[in-house]
Structure 1
Amino acid sequence: MKEAGVKAWLPSLLRLVLVVLLVAFVTNPGWFEPLLKPLTENNAPAIYNQGSLLTLTLLHLRTVLIATVAATIVAVALAILVTRPAGVEFLPLGEVIIAGLLSNNLAFVLQGGLIVAALAVLIYDGLSAIERYTARRMGQETA
């Protein structure tokens, strides 16, 4: 009986410990340098100082949020279009365009930055959202 109680709170405790470690790493990455140093070669620094990791994390979250909102708007609009009788013929074209844009080479060609990162997330999120929505609207199973 006591073992069942431990099993109930152990996942929550593990999540809490991982969140605390993540917050500690994002706010003070230098604390983890001794742990990461054995993984380096030729006396390379274990942690490169590219600015505040917290700031970089918040900028990343902002980029993902912008792209996800844009992807949702575009995907829902396209999904609504292709599930109507007048737009059914555009479904294959929309899938081909989005799948073609999903190429991993996009970021390399455009050389990075906020716009490219947001575009990559928009395309990736948009494709899956369109597929899920159109499958539901057309009565198919989603994977």
Structure 2
Amino acid sequence: MKLAVIIRLLLLAVLVAFIVSPTRFAAVFAPFTNNNAPAIYTQTSLLSLTISHLLLVGAATLAASLVSVVLAVIVTRPFGVEFLPLSRSIANIGQTFPPVAVLALAVPVFGFGPIPTLIALFLYGLLPIFENALTGLTNLPGNVSEAARGSGMTGWQRLTQVEFPLAFPVILAGIRLSVVISLATATIGSTVAAKTLGEVIIAGLQSNNTAFVLQGGLVVGVLALLIHDGLVTVERAMARRTGRQA
């Protein structure tokens, strides 16, 4: 376990060093260039692209989490059970339409920039969070729910003090899945002028420069790995606190 943590920390350190000062790694990527092409993408700051990429993913995931959890709460209350099919249909929208199709439909309405990408990431992130929130809220220990009800707690108190804390590790697993998917999917946002790491990859494809493609792909891949592992650690910690397996 300690070795794994050390490896992750070293990986994080290398990633930060590369994002902040990519030109220092020119020798590493030089073998992947042709005809004396530049080894490092410098048209836009890699740091600014990474920050913009993460902000897009974070904003979309936050919005998707709020909508998904609210829908899951509603359909697990007695008054909202009948809305379960509708809620599932809403959550499935992002999986029905590929992100590229969402971008194609959103650009004529909202124009080029980050908004179409945010919409695509939001829709694509709904389903895993909704399904996990639904699972977490409907698979609570029966004795705990009955004890909370018997103690005189109101419905709101049971939800906020008992049900949601117990379901949170499972909900977080859905958020983790959504974040990892969005980190990769967000790269297509550069096709509609959103500032993402996809800009580096697209530049590499257009100029036949494998070094650029590797830079964009590796940064996205390492970010996804580190964020995934970080969220898994939080899930396990929360599961231990609540006595449930995430």
TM-score normalised to structure 2 length: 0.47
Which of the two has greater helix per residue? Answer: 2
> Take 1:46 and 1:107, find their aligned partners in 2: how far apart are those partners?
33
Residue of structure 2 in register with 1:26 after alignment: 19
Residue of structure 1 in register with 2:114 after alignment: 114
> Take 2:53 and 2:2, find their aligned partners in 1: how far apart are those partners?
32
> Take 1:47 and 1:105, find their aligned partners in 2: how far apart are those partners?
28
> Which whole-Å deviations, capped at 9, do the CAs of 1:35-59 have from their partners, x for residues lacking one?
1122234444332223211122122
> Take 1:9 and 1:88, find their aligned partners in 2: how far apart are those partners?
46
- Superposition deviation, residue 85 in structure 1: 2.9
Aligned partner of 2:101: which letter? L
> Take 2:134 and 2:9, find their aligned partners in 1: how far apart are those partners?
38
Misfit runs of 4+, over 4 Å: none
Query: What RMSD, in angstroms, separates the aligned Cα atoms of the two structures?
Result: 2.6
> Take 1:50 and 1:84, find their aligned partners in 2: how far apart are those partners?
53
Aligned partner of 1:134: which letter? L
SS of residue matched to 1:87: helix
Aligned partner of 1:124: which letter? Y
TM-score normalised to structure 1 length: 0.75
Q: Percent identity?
A: 41
> Which whole-Å deviations, capped at 9, do the CAs of 1:76-99 have from their partners, x for residues lacking one?
111112222332232223223332
> Take 2:118 and 2:103, find their aligned partners in 1: how far apart are those partners?
14
Residue of structure 2 in register with 1:125 after alignment: 125
| Corresponding position: 1:105 with 2:100 | yes
- Superposition deviation, residue 60 in structure 1: 1.8
- Gapped regions of structure 2 (runs ≥ 5): 141-169, 174-246
- Gapped regions of structure 1 (runs ≥ 5): 1-7
